[in-house]
Structure 1
Amino acid sequence: MYPIVRMVKELIVSRKAPALPLEGEHVSHHICWPWDLDIWMELNNGRTLTLYDLGRIPLARRVGLIGALARNRWGLTMAGACVRYRRRIRAFERVTMRSRAVCWDDRFIYLEQSMWKKNGECASHILYRSAVTDRNGIVPPARVLADMGHDLTSPPMPDWITTWIAAEAQRPWPPMQD
């Protein structure tokens, strides 16, 4: 089940947080509850992706994206993700989540999120390729950013993101079938 109560809590906690520039970082704090665990008694990998929503939605509000979505009747979707899991998160462990937009191109906004343990170790890191949509498909980031009143120039795209984009372009779609 989607953690609606936790999302409402994050939106309430962040409601008075100051606005952020588009590439600003939203920091939030979370607890791994027993219902987040898998059979190995650690944070389930699928639930990790759901918990990352708890950082992205308040980030989107703080940078002004939620307002633009509402004004224009746009939607928001994830068009790809690449995750690294490096440290286990156990029941009742507290983590700090960091969420930010890194850069954008003519179709997508690239978001980076990470979860950090109390001892300073990074437990997981994810890169998302996100898209704003309308009934005709993808809304170009330039149009979205103009509506939000942001500069249209992307920060330089890091090599590791460029490499990921190139690798994704080589991946067959649709996937092979037997």
Structure 2
Amino acid sequence: MYPFIRYASTIAHAALKAKKGDTLTFKDTSEIQFRCRLSDIDNFLEMNNGRVFTLYDLGRMDFAVRTGLGKQLLKKRWGLVIAGSTIQYRKRIRAFQKVTLKTKIVGIDARWLYIEQSMWVKGQPCSSGLLRTGVTKGGRVIDTAQVLAALGQSDWDLPPTGYVAEWIKSDADRPWPPVDTAD
């Protein structure tokens, strides 16, 4: 089940932080902390891999609210979309461990914001995800220049480089729709 209460609580905490002046720009890294709950674990008593992606939503919401993007989403009736993702898992997260979730933008092109998210336990990285995200209006992705302008960050430029650019290139080579390998 989707963690609606945690989601709402994350938004409320982010709004309180922003109200107290603890805001972010698109150049900053958001950090939130939580505990791995029983509802997050699988039969091996560790955080379920699918739950990791779900909890990454919390980090993106904290980032959106504290950067002012959340206000713009409401004001302009914009939405958010994930158009692609890749993840690596390196260390198990066990029940009740304290997790730090970090969210930052690692690239922007004309259409997409590339976000890196990671979960850490006791200063050790456990998972890292790279997501292609967009802001939508009427079900269509809008130009990132429009988003940056609404946030007063029109002058900010962060072209995808390194592994982000390599992922974009390799993902473009991926067939869509998927090739049916059944005989």
Per the normalisation by structure 2, the TM-score is 0.92
Q: Give 2:4's aligned residue.
A: 4
**Matched residues in 1 for 2:7 and 2:16: separation?**
15
Q: Percent identity?
A: 40
Residue of structure 1 in register with 2:128 after alignment? 125
Q: Distance in 2 between matches of 1:13 and 1:147?
A: 23
On the 8 A contact 2:106/2:164 being kept in 1, the answer is: no
Residue 39 (1) aligns with residue 43 (2): yes
Conserved? CA contact 1:25–1:98, under 8 Å: yes
Find 1:163's aligned residue among 161, 166, 182.
166
Equivalent of 2:101, from 93, 97, 101? Answer: 97
Aligned counterpart, 1:176: 179
The alpha-carbon deviation at position 100 of structure 1 amounts to 1.2
Structure 2: give runs of 5+ residues left out of the alignment.
none
Aligned to 1:79: 83
Secondary structure of 1:166's counterpart equals: helix
> Of the candidates 142, 147, 172, which is equivalent to residue 144 of structure 1?
147
Alpha-carbon distance between aligned partners in 2 of 1:106 and 1:78, rounded to the nearest angstrom: 16
**Secondary structure, aligned partner of 2:120:** strand
Match for residue 72 of structure 2? 68
- Classify 1:139/1:152 alpha carbon distance in 2 versus 1 (closer, same or farther; 3 Å): farther
Amino acid at match of 2:60: R
Structure 1 unaligned segments of length 5 or more: list them. Answer: none
Larger mean CA deviation between 7-16 and 120-129 belongs to: 7-16
- Count, aligned residues: 177
1:16 aligns with 2:16: yes
Residue 57 of structure 2: aligned partner: 53
Q: Is the 8 A contact 1:142 1:152 kept in 2?
A: no
- Contact 2:33 2:100 (C-alpha < 8 Å) held by counterparts: yes
Root mean square deviation of aligned Cα: 1.3
8 Å contact from structure 1 (residues 87, 123) kept in 2:
yes
Displaced runs of 4 or more, over 4 A: none
How many Å separate the matches in 1 of 2:111 and 2:159?
Answer: 16
User: CA separation in 2, counterparts of 1:82 and 1:136?
Assistant: 23
